[in-house]
């Protein structure tokens, strides 16, 4: 389904700083972990936005902020044009119905002492208006069928299912309240290779069927490319490049995106000796004390004086057709070049 | 060479092979675990060979027996519940399974070493990394504390940990994931082993760090001409570094091949399915090929070919007869009755 219409989700300058404190009696704030530091994007109905980046870049904190599981330090989230107020219960409850999450680890995200029927039906306990009590069992069975599980297994426990089946249960729980947006935080990374494709196909089918919008957070760049309409690349709490999937993968213009793409092993041994590889040295700097100016400059081979002084804004730059946050942005195809 | 008193430590270390015998040969290995639910046959007749300087990738999903085989080679299986009813593991012609525990611990770490997946849980949190690396030299070489520490710093330099001198007294939690994996690598290459087994060495790491670690391993291998067994499920990593591939499924090897032959040209339906299920650029917007069903239950293996319940090309004899590992060419083999048809695309 092609993404259409007005944005369903508008995120503006979202910031989350976790305070670092010192002392027990006299607690003082001595700094902050800048987990998410000014993130803005739009998501339209039926669209999939892929979010990629290394661990610690703020992908999962972003997911929690969008779910209103964390209160943002500043910035705003609008759903269907309406501002989400994390301090107002009724507003929050309505909003949460519309945005659901599929977690990474299907082994720890399902309560082992609840039956599958109770797990999937639990959202109805809070949002009673979605399904009246008598209807619930039927609804849960329908959901099981939608995600490709046997509806007769409604009284089984999570341990009786395999990893891929458990992820399907997690997806059914996400669908229970008929949300418009689903946030998938690494939904296939804990699964075996032969099972990953099954779950990706299921997510794509559900998108077409229900017109869902996905935020798809993953570190596997080939999976993200397959499922996403647009891709955002994050580094140390900021989006450094965002664009259509073809723009990001074929014409990456930020050095970090280029390095990330070139580091992905290609499942084809032909020409492996001549393939271009940009190997970044070291680890990302600490988000408690990010470098001045451009945050990537400490690992960047293009860095010049201006990079330490002036922070590059996320904007369309000469010679590129999508937004990137680099003073020296330059489209360069690293995947196909040889 | 059945004589268990042979001191393998004194065997010649210069040549990669002794006659036609490879450096390391696993031959018809069986491993089973006794559990409360019954006997789980984790490894059912695995054979592979490794020469010096060579990289063998063992590819498989969880439960395929790839790690258990590696643990059997290292001699670190808990026995019981594990049991090795059949098979040989020959290192330079000596069957390791016939050696005493004392003899094996001579080989372990010195001649065959291993890197584990999760460096944080494989390192001891209450000792400094320097102490843990130096332990290799103190225990195996009887070095003094001071000399061993100096060696540890040298090794940390070799695996390119910045400021090794200052960081040698740090604890594992003070290092990032990639740096911890480097420390694991430093420990494993400390005594210049001839065989290095890397069990999912980069699975827990980011792609940028994965690239650093794989580059480091390749470089160390070139320097010392080690044989490397790389256990992984990542078809991309395999394509990047391996010389040959052994694909495992349900405790068996289903396909053996040189790396350049297997991609786009699989001779077993499972390998073919795995390769086709990777998202490709030209598949955008289309449904991915998915192998249907689930991996087999080790307590209750399917009859005949273990892959038959999931195989799109299944015939009647697949349900009843276990396929032998058919030789396709000198370097390739496939455990499928219909490998010819799979290979030339006429199966099913």
Task: Check A265 against B236: CB less than 8 A apart.
Answer: yes
Out of A193, A268, A277, closest to residue B233 by CB: A193
Q: Calculate what percentage of chain A has a pLDDT beyond 90.
A: 32
**In this structure, are residues B289 and B295 in contact, taking their beta carbons and an 8 Å threshold?**
no
State the Cα–Cα distance between residues B17 and B75, nearest whole angstrom: 22
Q: Does domain B19-242 have CATH number 1.10.10.10?
A: no
Task: Give residue A91's pLDDT band: very low, low, confident or very high (50, 70, 90).
Answer: confident
* Closest-CA residue to B152 (of B186, B175, B197): B186
Chain B residues whose beta carbon lies within 8 Å of the beta carbon of residue A162: 294-295
For residue B234, the SS3 value is: coil
Interchain proximity B207–A268, CB inside 8 Å: no
- With 0-12 CB in 10 A as exposed, 13-18 as middle and 19+ as buried, what is B88? middle
Residue A38, pLDDT > 70, answer: yes
Task: State whether B178 and A279 contact (CB < 8 Å).
Answer: no
Burial of A247 (0-12, 13-18, 19+ CB in 10 A): buried
pLDDT digits (tens, 9 = 90+) for B157-185: 888 888 888 888 899 988 888 888 888 88
Residue A61 distance to chain B (closest CA, Å):
17
Which residues have CB under 8 Å from B271's CB, separation 6+?
B247, B254, B255, B262
* pLDDT of res. B2: 42
CB pair distance less than 8 Å for A265 and B234: yes
Q: Is A192 within 8 Å of B291 when comparing Cβ atoms?
A: no
| The pLDDT value given to residue A3 | 58
Please report the pLDDT score of residue A2 as a whole number: 54
> Are B239 and A265 an interchain contact pair (Cβ–Cβ within 8 Å)?
yes
Give whichever of A161-165, A175-179, A332-336, B17-21 has the largest mean pLDDT: A175-179
Q: What's the confidence (pLDDT) of residue B19?
A: 56
DSSP class of A285:
P
Chain A contact set for B211 (CB, 8 A):
263, 265, 277, 279-280
Q: What is the pLDDT of residues A124-176, one digit of tens each?
A: 988 888 887 788 888 899 999 999 888 888 999 998 888 888 999 999 999 99
Residues of chain A found within 8 Å of residue B214, distances taken between Cβ atoms: 265
Pick among B205, B217, B240 to test the A interface (most A CBs inside 10 A): B240
Q: Is the pLDDT of residue B6 over 50?
A: no
Give the single-character DSSP code of A321. Answer: S
Tell me what the mean pLDDT of segment A28-35 comes to: 85
Beta-strand relationship, B333-334 and B326-327: antiparallel
ipTM > 0.90, yes or no: no
> How far is residue B55's CA from residue B23's CA, in Å, rounded to a whole number?
12
User: Which neighbouring-strand residues pair with B197?
Assistant: B114, B229
Average pLDDT on B22-41 reads 89
Chain A hits for B239, Cβ within 8 Å: 265-269, 272
Q: How far apart are CA B253 and CA B273, in angstroms?
A: 16
Please report the pLDDT score of residue B57 as a whole number.
Answer: 92
Calculate how close chain A gets to B81, using CA atoms only, in Å.
Answer: 23
Which residues are paired to A9 by β-bridges?
A43, A79
pLDDT digits (tens, 9 = 90+) for A209-235: 999 999 999 888 888 998 999 999 999
Sign of CA dihedral A309, A311, A315, A320: positive
Contact with chain B for residue A118, Cβ under 8 A: no
* pTM for this model (two decimals): 0.83
* pLDDT number for residue B37: 84
Question: SS3 of A257, please?
Answer: helix
Q: Which residues contact A214 (CB under 8 A, 6 or more apart)?
A: A47, A48, A49, A181, A182, A183, A184, A203, A207, A227
Does residue A263 belong to the interface with chain B, where contact is any CB pair within 8 Å? yes
Within 8 A of B66 by CB-CB distance, chain A residues are none
Closest residue in B to A335 (Cα–Cα): B281
Contact flag B207-A162 (C-beta cutoff 8 Å): no
Out of B215, B274, B294, closest to residue A162 by CB: B294
Closest chain B residue to the Cα of A165, Cα to Cα: B294
Chain B residues in contact with A223 (beta carbon < 8 A)? 279
- Contact of A267 with chain B, judged by CB distance below 8 Å, is answered with yes
Percent helix / strand / coil, chain B, rounded to 5: 35, 20, 40
Mean pLDDT of chain A: 87
Q: Who among B264, B275, B283 is closest to A226 (CB)?
A: B283
Average pLDDT over residues B76-84: 86
- Which residues, 6+ apart, have CB-to-CB distance to B97 below 8 Å? B84, B87, B88, B89
At residue A240 the predicted structure's pLDDT band, cuts being 50, 70 and 90, is very high
**Cα three-residue angle B281-B282-B284, rounded to 5 degrees:** 75
Which token pair is B270? 């499972």
Query: What is the full DSSP assignment across A225-253?
Result: HHH-SEEEEEETTEEEEEEEHHHHHHS--
Contact B337, B320 (CB under 8 A): no
Cis peptide before B80 (omega within 30 of 0): yes
Q: How many angstroms from the chain centroid is the CA of residue B224?
A: 19
- Residue B246 CA to residue B26 CA, distance in Å, equals 12
Domain ranges of chain A: 256-338
Name every residue whose Cβ is closer than 8 Å to that of residue B218 and which is 6 or more positions away in sequence: B241
pLDDT band at B302 (very low <50, low <70, confident <90, very high): confident
The domain ranges of chain B are 19-242, 266-344
* In chain A, alpha helices (H): 59-66, 89-98, 116-126, 136-146, 163-175, 193-210, 221-227, 245-250, 255-263, 305-309
Instruction: Give pLDDT, residue B12.
Output: 43
Hey, is A26 helix, strand or coil? Answer: coil
Model pLDDT for residues A282-303, shown as the tens digit of each residue: 778 888 888 989 999 998 988 8
Q: Is A330 exposed, middle or buried (0-12, 13-18, 19+ CB in 10 A)?
A: middle
B249-271 b/e (C-beta count within 10 Å ≥ 16 → b) = bbbbbbbbbebbbbbebbbbbbb
Residue B3, pLDDT score: 44
d(CA B47, CA A261): 36
Confidence band for B143, pLDDT divided at 50, 70 and 90: confident
Q: Which residue of B has its CA nearest to A271?
A: B240
Where does the pLDDT of residue B14 fall: very low under 50, low under 70, confident under 90, or very high at 90 and above? very low
Nearest CA in chain A to B234: A193
Is residue B10 scored above 70 in pLDDT? Answer: no
Q: How confident is the model at residue A269 (pLDDT cuts 50, 70, 90)?
A: confident
Whether A282 and chain B come into contact, CB under 8 Å, resolves to yes
Cβ neighbours of B311 in A, within 8 Å: none
Closest CA to A317 of A240, A253, A247, A256: A253
Question: How confident is residue B191, by pLDDT bands cut at 50, 70 and 90?
Answer: confident
Task: Report chain B residues whose CB lies below 8 A from the CB of A267.
Answer: 235-236, 238-239, 263, 275, 278
Q: How many CA atoms lie within 13 A of A145 on its CB side?
A: 8
Please report how many Cα atoms fall inside a 13 Å half-sphere around the Cα of residue B112, on the Cβ side: 25
Q: Side by side, which strands form the sheet with A213-217?
A: A99-102, A181-185, A213-217, A48-52, A230-235, A238-244, A323-324, A315-316
Token duo for residue B79: 């026995």
**Helical ranges in B14-100 per DSSP H:** 66-74
Give the model's pLDDT for residue B7: 45
| Cβ neighbours for B5, distance < 8 A, ≥ 6 positions apart | none
Count CA atoms within 13 Å of residue A302 on its CB side.
16
Whether the per-residue pLDDT at A255 is higher than 50: the answer is yes
Beta carbons of B239 and A54 less than 8 Å apart: no
Give tens-digit pLDDT for B196-228: 999 988 877 788 888 888 888 888 898 888 999
Segment (H or E) for B104 = helix B101-107
**Residue A264: its chain B contacts at CB < 8 A?**
207, 236
What is the predicted pLDDT for the residue at B179? 85
Q: How far is CA A265 from CA A269, A278, A335, B18, in A?
A: 10, 12, 10, 35
Query: What is d(CA A268, CA B275) in angstroms, rounded to the nearest whole number?
Result: 10
Question: CA B58, CA B51: separation in Å to the nearest integer?
Answer: 15
Candidate from A77-91, B2-16, B233-247, B298-312 with smallest mean pLDDT: B2-16
């Amino acid at each position: 389904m092609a993404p259409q219409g007005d944005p369903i989700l508008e995120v503006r300058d979202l910031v989350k700083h976790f305070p670092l404190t010192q002392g027990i009696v006299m607690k003082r704030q001595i700094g902050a972990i800048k987990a998410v530091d000014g993130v803005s994007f739009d998501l339209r109905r039926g669209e999939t936005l892929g979010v990629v980046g290394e661990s610690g870049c703020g992908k999962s904190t972003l997911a929690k902020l969008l779910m209103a599981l964390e209160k943002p330090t500043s910035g705003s989230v609008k759903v269907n044009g309406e501002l989400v107020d994390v301090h107002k219960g009724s507003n929050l409850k309505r909003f949460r119905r519309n945005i659901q999450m599929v977690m990474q680890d299907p082994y720890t995200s399902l309560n082992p002492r609840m039956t599958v029927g109770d797990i999937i039906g639990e959202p109805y306990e809070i949002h009673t208006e979605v399904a009246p009590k008598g209807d619930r069992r039927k609804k849960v069975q329908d959901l099981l069928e939608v995600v490709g599980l046997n509806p007769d297994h409604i009284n089984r426990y999570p341990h009786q299912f395999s990893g891929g089946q458990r992820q399907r249960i997690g997806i059914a729980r996400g669908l229970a309240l008929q949300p418009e947006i689903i946030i998938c935080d690494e939904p296939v990374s804990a699964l075996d290779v032969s099972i990953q494709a099954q779950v990706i196909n299921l997510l794509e089918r559900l998108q077409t069927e229900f017109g869902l919008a996905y935020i798809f957070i993953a570190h596997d760049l080939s999976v993200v490319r397959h499922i996403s309409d647009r891709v955002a690349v994050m580094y140390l709490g900021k989006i450094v490049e965002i664009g259509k999937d073809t723009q990001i993968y074929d014409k990456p213009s930020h050095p970090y995106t280029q390095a990330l793409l070139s580091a992905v092993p290609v499942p084809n041994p032909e020409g492996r000796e001549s393939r271009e590889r940009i190997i970044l040295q070291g680890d990302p700097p600490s988000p408690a004390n990010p470098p001045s100016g451009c945050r990537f400059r400490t690992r960047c081979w293009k860095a010049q004086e201006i990079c330490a002084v002036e922070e590059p804004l996320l904007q369309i730059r000469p010679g590129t057709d999508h937004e990137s946050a680099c003073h020296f942005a330059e489209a360069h195809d690293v995947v196909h070049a040889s | 060479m059945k004589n268990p008193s042979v001191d393998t430590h004194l065997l010649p270390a210069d040549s990669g092979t002794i006659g036609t015998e490879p450096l390391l040969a696993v031959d018809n290995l069986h491993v089973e675990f006794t559990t409360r639910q019954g006997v789980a046959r984790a490894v059912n007749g695995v054979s592979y060979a490794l020469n010096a300087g060579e990289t063998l990738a063992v590819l498989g999903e969880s439960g395929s027996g790839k790690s258990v085989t590696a643990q059997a080679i290292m001699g670190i299986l808990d026995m019981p519940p594990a049991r090795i009813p059949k098979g040989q593991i020959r290192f330079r012609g000596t069957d390791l399974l016939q050696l005493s525990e004392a003899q094996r611990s001579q080989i372990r770490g010195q001649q065959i070493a291993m890197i584990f997946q999760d460096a944080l849980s494989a390192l001891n949190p209450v000792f400094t990394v320097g102490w843990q690396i130096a332990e290799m030299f103190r225990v195996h070489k009887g070095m003094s504390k001071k000399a061993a520490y100096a060696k540890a710093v040298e090794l940390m330099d070799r695996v390119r940990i910045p400021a090794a001198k200052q960081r040698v007294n740090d604890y594992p939690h003070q290092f990032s994931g990639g740096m911890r994996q480097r420390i694991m690598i430093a420990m494993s290459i400390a005594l210049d082993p001839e065989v290095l087994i890397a069990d999912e060495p980069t699975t827990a790491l980011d792609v940028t760090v994965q690239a650093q670690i794989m580059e480091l391993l390749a470089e160390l291998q070139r320097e010392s001409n080690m044989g490397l067994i790389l256990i992984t499920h990542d078809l991309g990593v395999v394509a990047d570094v391996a010389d040959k591939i052994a694909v495992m499924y349900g405790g068996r090897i289903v396909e053996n091949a040189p790396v350049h032959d297997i991609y786009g040209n699989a001779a077993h339906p499972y390998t073919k399915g795995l390769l086709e299920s990777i998202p490709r650029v030209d598949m955008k917007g289309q449904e991915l090929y998915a192998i249907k069903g689930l991996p087999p239950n080790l307590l209750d293996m399917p009859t005949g070919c273990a892959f038959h319940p999931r195989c799109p090309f299944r015939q009647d004899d697949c349900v009843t007869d276990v396929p032998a590992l058919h030789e396709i060419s000198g370097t390739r083999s496939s455990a499928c009755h219909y490998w010819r048809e799979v290979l030339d695309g006429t199966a099913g």
